[in-house]
A = this chain, B = another copy of it.
């Protein structure tokens, strides 16, 4: 097991009606910027719930943060923060709104000329403007970690940022929000959380016996509850387990002491940057192809996953192969395509090369827990995913 430092300062308030804690959790006399996305919170009652708790604060609103939050949009929010001397941010939304808010928390205190440098130069944020979140869409785990991914359409970039200054001070996670989500977002959330676990678990070699078991527990739970979450999202108990799985998948616990991969995400981000395909769906496109490509090296871990999570039996190679097939079937059972050609994309056959070219422009391609996935590998993996 590798050395690690575990510190999750975020206070999580999980359960029904936890928004009632808001006024107590935000520092008195805060000047708040309330950030949200496309406006669904104005139709599902969450906006009224939140605003109802903020009557004693000075609140300015900024809506319109899109999926794969855009630098251009966030730059406008940054102006609002500076103009109004905002000192507390409140994100009400899913991973995109929360990630956008993390960028703003960092950029608001950034002293350089171009906040995009935080992403492009990979600057770690030690101190950010304090912020809280009200989670409206379980998926990314962003409500309990210090990472964010920001996009810039003009340059075709989608880059990650983070640092200890970007943990939410608090997060409100009320599973009743799941009831009103469209099936597309439910399926995306399940696949997103599932792949987050896989990026931290499907590595080799590792002696982290307990982390393996915890990861397997999250994967088993997601597979067990997924069909019912899709058919009856109004079932609170299912929704609660779904929301808790998404949190545990990326709150930092299962990454401690183990090597992590994240190559599926790195390639998936390029697909989103190129075609605008939902983040989770890009992961479903890359994952099966990635694991088939790395079958030889990941065979033992894939076999462990196949036996413990999927209940498969047989020799290692057979179980490993079946495990990949069944994982792909699982994604498809949620209505999520696992090939590029399942989506409305132009000139898919040219994408593997153009993706590699785009990635190389930013930096040398060195991916995977052993840093052994290079340009030619990415091209092959994508060719098998067309």
Q: Give A residues with C-beta under 8 Å from B.
A: 1-18, 175, 207-211, 213-214, 216-218, 220-221, 224-225, 237, 240-241, 244-245, 248, 253, 256-257
Chain B's closest residue to A237 (CB) is: B207
Is the beta-carbon distance between A244 and B216 smaller than 8 angstroms?
no
Contact status A8-B8, CB under 8 Å:
yes
Q: Is the CB of B213 within 8 A of A218?
A: yes
Not counting A209-B224, A213-B217, a sample of 6 additional A-B residue pairs whose C-beta atoms are within 8 angstroms of each other reads A1-B175, A8-B8, A210-B221, A213-B218, A213-B220, A214-B217
Q: Which of B6, B10, B175, B209 contacts A241 (CB 8 A)?
A: B209
Nearest CB in chain B to that of A217: its residue: B213
- Nearest B-chain residue to A247, judged by Cβ: B6
Q: Which residues of B contact A5 (CB under 8 A)?
A: 11-14
A257 contact set on B, CB distance < 8 A: 14-15, 240, 244
Query: Which residue of the partner chain B has the closest CB to A224?
Result: B209
Question: How many monomers of this chain does the complex have?
Answer: 2
Q: How far is the CB of A220 from chain B (nearest CB, A)?
A: 6
Q: How far is the CB of A38 from chain B (nearest CB, A)?
A: 29
Given contacts A241-B209, A245-B210, contact A4 B11 (CB under 8 A): no
Known: A214-B217, A256-B14. A237 touches B1 (CB 8 A): yes
Closest 6 CB pairs of A and B: A3-B15, A213-B217, A207-B237, A1-B240, A6-B12, A7-B11
Q: Judging by beta carbons under 8 Å apart, are A12 and B3 in contact? A: no
**A236→B260 CA distance, assembly (Å):** 21
A210 in contact with B248 (CB, 8 Å) = yes
* Contact residues in B for A220 (Cβ distance below 8 Å): 213
**A8 — nearest CB in chain B belongs to which residue?**
B8
Q: Which of B15, B210, B216 contacts A4 (CB 8 A)?
A: B15
CB proximity of A211 to chain B, nearest CB, Å: 8
Q: Find the B residue at minimum CB distance from A235.
A: B207
Residues in chain B near residue A6, CB distance under 8 A: 11-12, 14
- Please indicate the chain B residues that have their CB under 8 angstroms from the CB of A14 in the complex: 3-6, 256-257
A174's nearest neighbour on chain B, judged by CB, is B3
CB distance from A365 to the nearest CB of B (A): 30
**Closest-CB distance, A363 to chain B (whole angstroms):** 29
Docked complex Cα distance between A5 and B248 (Å)? 14
Which of A210, A220, A237, A244 has most chain B Cβ within 10 Å?
A: A210
What distance in Å separates the Cβ of A167 from its nearest Cβ neighbour in chain B?
11
Report Cα–Cα, A169/B294, bound state, in Å.
42
Q: A213-B217, A216-B217, A217-B214 are in contact. Are A241 and B12 (CB under 8 A)?
A: no
B residues near A240, Cβ cutoff 8 Å: 1, 207-208, 257
Smallest Cβ distance from A15 to chain B, in angstroms?
3
